[in-house]
Structure 1
């Protein structure tokens, strides 16, 4: 009898667990974002579900069958403007089986996947609808990276700067990356409904406007609206736009609400230079974990050759990053308190471009009530953008890329040829720096009052005005 009772009890328990596992999950809300080449629907769930997606033609529709789900929200509130979606309707086919039908104005290519809970959201079902001519990436791993647009162009994006440049010289291109976006809101303000993603986009658009007002410069936005782009994809977009500089704009949070001040970061090859830098870098890098984006494999390359070339390129890029970063930071110090008075270095994934000087600008701590208020102010956003613009101009007036209008101005003596600065990067020697700028080692020592050849990482060297940089 004891064994029989035990078997009965176990059976009841297993049945209860099975019933719980099969219990329908609620679709609590539905969110929609429009990216330049796709539309993303995110179904927020109370638990895991199974699903299938298929297409129908004449008329064009997407059908999503969700097993173990019930609709507990309205679909009528979705804003469908500027999307190929003309309507979203649903029907409960059985107690636990839901069908969602998406009516379309044009054919699309769907891609769907589920996501486990993270710190911001619970279970989710993500459906990406790629426009014609923009097929989803050929990857078998469900990833938010699949929804990243290759080149953001939307009806609301400002028209490109088409001002002719004298003598056929090109503009200096600055890629501006507004941090976060879409279902990744970034840090939260103490004020309800204020997110980092909105602040960064507002500052980025103002920065673009100001840089485009400068003759010989052109600013390109990496993210033009409220949608998500994986970190590595952001640098890819910048590269496709021919960027000479990558500037990532953020307004982060800290564990302490009292933390305040602006910061500028460049890449660190050997980890963070402070606990704050390490904490912020980890938070930013985890952005890709929302969709599980993985590292790029270099297994098919000659690792020794690739390593040498990458190291040489990264060293030059990092030196320029530290240089422009210090100029931006110095100018920001004139309009807002600084968290650190030198450029910090950390392992931000978004800065890991070996061929483009890259900086990450923390415009302030949105977790600080006083700074949050300023960051949402249009006047403060304009002042921040102006300080960044000034720092960028100063750097390129001293280090203009060859073939640009600014380089032509410098060669013609129309830009003051004052001493340039070089911030020493890891792995650089005094002889290597002298060779880069085509000056003698003796003149470099003399300009910096050095008795020997010992220099330190982060040290700022003056490059004699008569030197012509070997770009």
Structure 2
């Protein structure tokens, strides 16, 4: 990428064909502001778009427009000042080069040289965490790239593998939580996600996809959309928790599922959004259904999905308990956007408290990350052995995973037996069709696989 220029740049006289649609191309907005310093520039390259982020000293007035032959984006910043020593990073994605200089007597001009036709989008971000104001310019390709096949293909009639979508939380301009020694959550989540994919892809009857495989940001809605497009059987979002303030002693993994409130809001949104109604939800299209029937179908599908999410979360929590402390002894619930898929069972795993120095150190250890990924895999595998999706390798090999049995002894409770066999009381009740937790000495219980 070309070095930053400090001399004035002239673009020449604009032809009428460019001046006419200027208003339509004006993506920047006028924000009441004074002089603004342009302090730093970062570029993030993702598979779907390229993002340029300018650190600025405060709110600014700017105008953004496009020029062609050659293609470029021009951003004029009113009363913009370029901080001495500002450098331009190497070219990435759809950006060939970035040039920054003066425009007139008091304005700054930023020129983004393009390597392809793009649809630009720009916005100003307010301060957040330790970041100040940022001017963000996203470049989307005008022609959407063809989707890459990432799931193992099977011959007709053969059992298919179970597909697990793994979501590495945060990324790019969103670093997530920060540890005491500077570890960024976004890096830990990607390392755990890659390790989990590696282990899953070695398992018979299982395959995995990643929602992101690099240091770039993916919108939360796009994360579970990628899982649905891959027809995933499970969505696992990986995070590293942080305790605000000075509570550095908080520790342990946790597993989360969607709250009923989150499910209700997502259902309402989908029923109101005609584009979403046309989606396949559990194999049923809602676009041609009356509102009352569509609501019933969606409610039934979401109920089944949330039951499956709870079940797999229980298994994963039990497996995580085998390698270290958990923050809570039960699965937790929250209105996380990434868990809102109506037809893909979804869980969120907080691997540890990155704000705890001891746990931050473990998260930076490859051996510990391997154990974390192994525990998540163990929980998912145990769930699919017990509840194999139709047409999968697990369903075709169900006889291999028949549950073992346990004879109830004196003083044993359902919780004690569940802990001993690495399962949960709820799973024992379900597997044995128990109406309560009451047991008698000599009772024989079927133990779910795993």
The worse-fitting range, judged by mean Cα deviation, of 218-227 and 357-366 is 218-227
Residue aligning to 1:418: 403
- Flag the 1:130–1:167 CA change in 2: closer, same or farther, 3 A: same
**Any idea what the Cα deviations from partners look like across 1:356-378, whole Å, max 9, x if unmatched?**
11111010000000000101111
- Flag the 1:51–1:270 CA change in 2: closer, same or farther, 3 A: closer
CA distance in 2, matches of 1:446, 1:65: 66
CA distance in 1, matches of 2:152, 2:262: 41
CA distance in 1, matches of 2:119, 2:104: 28
- Flag the 1:257–1:297 CA change in 2: closer, same or farther, 3 A: farther
Residue pair 2:45, 2:216 contacting (<8 A) in 1 also: yes
CA distance in 1, matches of 2:226, 2:152: 20
State which of 213, 221, 238 in structure 2 corresponds to 1:232: 221
CA distance in 1, matches of 2:76, 2:153: 51
CA distance in 1, matches of 2:159, 2:431: 35
1:195-274 → structure 2 map (5 Å cutoff): 195-255=184-244, 256-270=247-261
Q: Does 1:323 align with 2:311?
A: yes
Q: Does 1:128 align with 2:152?
A: no
Aligned pairs, number: 369
Residue pair 2:151, 2:209 contacting (<8 A) in 1 also: no
Alignment partner of 2:167: what SS?
A: strand
Residue pair 1:445, 1:451 contacting (<8 A) in 2 also: no
Residue aligning to 1:72: 83
Q: What displacement does 1:219 show?
A: 0.3
TM-score computed with the length of structure 1 as normaliser: 0.72
CA distance in 1, matches of 2:270, 2:292: 17
1:76-155 → structure 2 map (5 Å cutoff): 76-81=87-92, 83-134=93-144
Residue aligning to 1:40: 51
CA distance in 2, matches of 1:202, 1:445: 35
Residue pair 2:35, 2:79 contacting (<8 A) in 1 also: yes
Q: What displacement does 1:73 show?
A: 5.5
The worse-fitting range, judged by mean Cα deviation, of 358-367 and 88-97 is 88-97
Alignment partner of 2:170: what SS?
A: coil
- Flag the 1:75–1:305 CA change in 2: closer, same or farther, 3 A: farther
CA distance in 1, matches of 2:392, 2:84: 55
**Aligned residues: CA RMSD:** 3.1
State which of 287, 290, 297 in structure 2 corresponds to 1:309: 297
Q: What displacement does 1:97 show?
A: 0.6
Q: What displacement does 1:214 show?
A: 0.8
Alignment partner of 1:28: what SS?
A: strand
Q: What displacement does 1:417 show?
A: 1.8
Q: What displacement does 1:328 show?
A: 0.8
CA distance in 2, matches of 1:24, 1:338: 50
Alignment partner of 1:168: what SS?
A: coil
Alignment partner of 1:364: what SS?
A: strand
For structure 2, the residue ranges without an aligned partner over 5 or more in a row are: 1-31, 264-268, 278-289, 406-428, 439-444
For structure 1, the residue ranges without an aligned partner over 5 or more in a row are: 1-20, 136-149, 154-158, 273-294, 421-443, 455-461, 466-471
CA distance in 1, matches of 2:315, 2:360: 24
1:293-442 → structure 2 map (5 Å cutoff): 298=272, 302-410=290-398, 413=399, 415-418=400-403
Q: Does 1:180 align with 2:189?
A: no
- Flag the 1:60–1:463 CA change in 2: closer, same or farther, 3 A: farther
- Flag the 1:209–1:165 CA change in 2: closer, same or farther, 3 A: farther
- Flag the 1:342–1:89 CA change in 2: closer, same or farther, 3 A: same
Q: Does 1:29 align with 2:40?
A: yes
CA distance in 2, matches of 1:132, 1:355: 30
Alignment partner of 1:32: what SS?
A: strand
CA distance in 1, matches of 2:101, 2:209: 44
Q: What displacement does 1:118 show?
A: 3.1
CA distance in 2, matches of 1:252, 1:446: 33
Residue pair 1:267, 1:352 contacting (<8 A) in 2 also: yes
Alignment partner of 2:198: what SS?
A: helix
Alignment partner of 1:30: what SS?
A: strand
Alignment partner of 1:393: what SS?
A: helix
Residue pair 2:162, 2:392 contacting (<8 A) in 1 also: yes
TM-score computed with the length of structure 2 as normaliser: 0.75
Q: What displacement does 1:124 show?
A: 1.9
Residue pair 2:431, 2:447 contacting (<8 A) in 1 also: no
Residue pair 1:75, 1:88 contacting (<8 A) in 2 also: no
Residue pair 2:71, 2:114 contacting (<8 A) in 1 also: yes
- Flag the 1:403–1:449 CA change in 2: closer, same or farther, 3 A: closer
